[in-house]
Structure 1
Amino acid sequence: MKKIKILLLLLTVSVAGFYSCTDNDPVENEVVTSKSISLRTTLNEIKKANNINGKNELSTQDQAFCFNFVFPLNLSYNNGTVVTVSSYEGLIAVLTSETSTFYFEGIQFPFQVQQEGVITTIDDEAEFFALILDCNFPTVNNFVFDFTCYDIVYPISIINANNETVVIETQVELMQYVSTPTGVSTYQLNIVFPISIEQNGLTIVVNDLYEFFEINNDCAGSSCICTADFNPVCVETTNGTVMYSNACFALCDGFTEADFVTCNTTAVETFATTLGDCFTMNYPVQIQHQGALVTVNNDGELLQYYFPNQSDVPAFVYPVTINRTTPTGSFVVTIANQTAFWDVVLSCN
């Protein structure tokens, strides 16, 4: 691994808005930055590597890191102030002075990084996310799979890969957005803050991404670097059965495979596993797909438009009717929206 060397910081306190100064030159060029979850992820790793507690002690270290930034960089604070960073020591200084009300949240694209002597240009957030995945940095996607530190209070909203705001009603539904068979997702979970979590019997409001990382840094399980796949395992503890999203998190928390017990998998049923068993569709139905309405006439056609990493059920045009099968018989149910359909899936046994 190369060592990160971020050259000298230049911070002009009078800079405001979306402008940046270099040395003592007047502001001449507008600097446009973009909010970046990947930046916050990377800065969080730099702070942990340098034992920065966000208060007043500076502990600059020459840490081995996955990549070198090529400087200068233009970074923006959450109030819009843009600064030009040109040194490792300077970056450490401003990261030390970050607070929950004044922290970095944006970067100017494109920028360059150096890995093993090769310089690469990072053009956008998707490429930045791919970079930090290669570095195995703990991401927001990883954190939501660790059930041992806190519980998210639902519903919450996220911005999906199509830049649409989506309401998420359950933990399982959230998992479907970031889970893939290979454990690697190109979608970076973008949570709309504030959200609430329950931790140690208390309800805590998490106001932004900075606070989200701070809370996860205090979690014992956050040091685990596990893939974002949802293959739950359960263990028995003195406080009852605890479910982990996959074996990696359980092992990282000190358990062994001998501790695993059978999970109640009812809560992780999917549309595909319950279709034709718990319920059948009354065809034809219409699906919204890539801006068009598509009519489907059977299960085979329907499953072609089921994308579990994007939504828990296909994008039906509602209302739709199904035949619900229970131990006492079958009956017709009219479903008015996606949330109601998901309730049917979760109720399947």
Structure 2
Amino acid sequence: MKKIKILLLLLTVSVAGFYSCTDNDPVENEIVTSKSISLRVTLNEIKKANNINGKNDFATQDQAFCFNFVFPINLSYNNGTVVTVSSYEGLIAVLASETSTFYFEGIQFPFQVQQEGAITTIDDEAEFFALILECNFQTVNNFVFDFTCYDIVYPISIVNANNQTVVINTQAELIQQISTPTGTSTYQLNIVFPISLVQNGVTIVVNDLYEFFEINNDCPSSSCICTADYNPVCVQTTTGTVMYSNACFAICDGFTQADFVSCDPIITTNFGNGLGTCFTMNYPVQVQHQGALVTVNTNAELLQYYFPSWSSIPALVYPVTVNFNTPTGSISMVFANQTAFDSAIISNCN
């Protein structure tokens, strides 16, 4: 498990304090906060580090933080109430009172943090996300890479990097959205709630980000800090072959490299060989990639977004029209989803 820097000394002392804005306080009414996924990530780590709600079973005290807020900071609850938190002790106090119906979801930008003796200003959500990535906090991206705790019921909607709401139909599409090659910008998964999860045969409705974190905190692999990269490994169990998104999650679940087996036929692909020979695409088509929609006009362009280890087909935006070459001529087919396209490739290209 990676070592994370020890929590720095508090920047402020004295008594913890916070207060709510009211109509009688026109100055405080000018405070504008923004919803922040990164804030929820950070507060979750603080709660685990301080055994709030018994969560330190999943993280030890010396792995909690690599930065400290410069107080005061302004936070907002999910009902719009804004409070000013004037010290670390005050933050712990208000976090201890959070519930599933009354929790923090916003922060006022800019704010400052202290990290390795330096003061840094965080101007927006992108900078906040970059900060927590440095600290190896468990983000929403990390959570959805753990395939063993629950299954997401698809389709779901997300808000992509261009602030557009898009529909995700499969796990492969979701992983492709948040898997970022080296040297490119990183997209923070922004799920549109509510969504449904299936855990131990039971369907659970998750209404918001707070509930999503609570469920993931109780997953066994939440004690591990695994990167959000897709390099699947498989293990053989008494109930069949189980695929993990990478070796870290498998090891967190108690397996070793000696337990790893081939993932075939779980991962099967023939889109790359079939494109241009067995079938042709009617261009242009759109592909979901790194939180954005990309328009593609040629086979060569489309193959740039084909990642066989992630999905048997690029993350196309459906419907798409495909022409299959048969002994009697070309047949045009329209596909509404990846499952139908996969089935047609298997039927016509083998």
Separation in 1, partners of 2:261, 2:18: 55
Q: 1:314 & 1:62 partners in 2: Cα distance?
A: 44
What are structure 2's unaligned runs of at least 5 residues?
56-60
Q: Which residue number corresponds to residue 341 of structure 2?
A: 344
User: 2:134 is matched with which residue?
Assistant: 134
The amino acid across from 1:134 in the alignment is E
* Secondary structure, aligned partner of 1:162: coil
Matched, 1:147 2:128: no
- Say if 1:207 and 1:329 are closer, same or farther in 2 by CA, change over 3 A: farther
Aligned pairs (5 A) from 1:280-291: 280-282=280-282, 285-287=283-285
Q: CA deviation at 1:148?
A: 1.2
Corresponding letter in the other structure for 1:3 = L
The answer for the alignment partner of 2:171 in structure 1 is 171
**Aligned equivalent of 1:5, options 10, 15, 36:** 10
Change (3 A) 1:89 1:165: same
Partner of 1:250: 250
Structure 1 partner of 2:333: 334
With over 3 angstroms needed to count, the CA separation of the structure-2 counterparts of 1:135 and 1:343, relative to structure 1, is farther
Q: Is 2:323 the partner of 1:322?
A: yes
Structure-1 separation of matches of 2:256 and 2:345: 31
Q: Secondary structure at the match of 1:10?
A: coil
In structure 2, the residue corresponding to 1:53 is in which secondary structure? helix
1:81–1:168 distance in 2 versus 1, CA, 3 Å: same
Residues 162-203 of structure 1, C-alpha deviation per residue, up to 9 Å, x if partnerless? 111111111111100011344996100001111111111111
Unaligned runs of 5+ in 1: 20-24, 56-60
Give the distance between the partners of 1:6 and 1:215, measured in 2 at CA.
32
**What's the CA shift for 1:270?**
8.7
Determine the C-alpha separation between the residues in 1 that align with 2:112 and 2:18: 20
Residues in 1 aligned to 2:215 and 2:204: alpha-carbon distance in whole angstroms = 10
- State how far apart, in whole Å, the 2-side matches of 1:184 and 1:250 are: 27
- Identical counterparts, % of pairs: 67
TM-superposed CA distance for 1:321, in Å, is 3.0
Output one character per residue of 1:192-245: Cα deviation in whole Å (capped at 9) or x when no partner.
Answer: 111111111111111110000001111111122112111211111122221101
Q: Which residue of structure 1 aligns with residue 46 of structure 2?
A: 46
CA distance in structure 2 between the aligned counterparts of 1:179 and 1:228, rounded to whole angstroms: 7
Q: Contact 1:4–1:69 at 8 Å: present in 2 too?
A: no
Instruction: Name the CA distance, whole Å, in 2 between partners of 1:278 and 1:214.
Output: 47
Alignment of 1:62-77 (within 5 A): 65-77=65-77
Number of matched residues? 325
TM-score (norm 2): 0.81
User: Partner residue of 1:262?
Assistant: 262
Residue 233 of structure 2 is matched in structure 1 by: 233
Structure 1 CA distance, aligned partners of 2:146 and 2:343? Answer: 21
Distance change in 2, residues 1:110/1:183 (3 Å): same
Q: Alpha-carbon deviation of 1:273?
A: 6.6
Alpha-carbon shift at residue 332 of structure 1 (Å): 2.0
Distance of 1:253 and 1:135 partners within structure 2 = 23
Residues 238 and 106 (structure 1 numbering): CA distance in 2 closer, same or farther, change over 3 Å?
same
Q: Deviations over 1:281-339 (max 9, x none)?
A: 35xx22569x999783x4224446x4879x944568x65332267xx998523325xx4
CA separation in 2, counterparts of 1:136 and 1:191?
A: 20
Take 1:41 and 1:292, find their aligned partners in 2: how far apart are those partners?
27
The code of the aligned residue for 1:81 comes to T
Residue correspondence of structure 1 range 306-321 to structure 2 within 5 A: 306=305, 312-313=314-315, 320-321=321-322
Answer yes or no: is 1:157 the counterpart of 2:164. no
C-alpha distance in 1 between matches for 2:119 and 2:139: 24
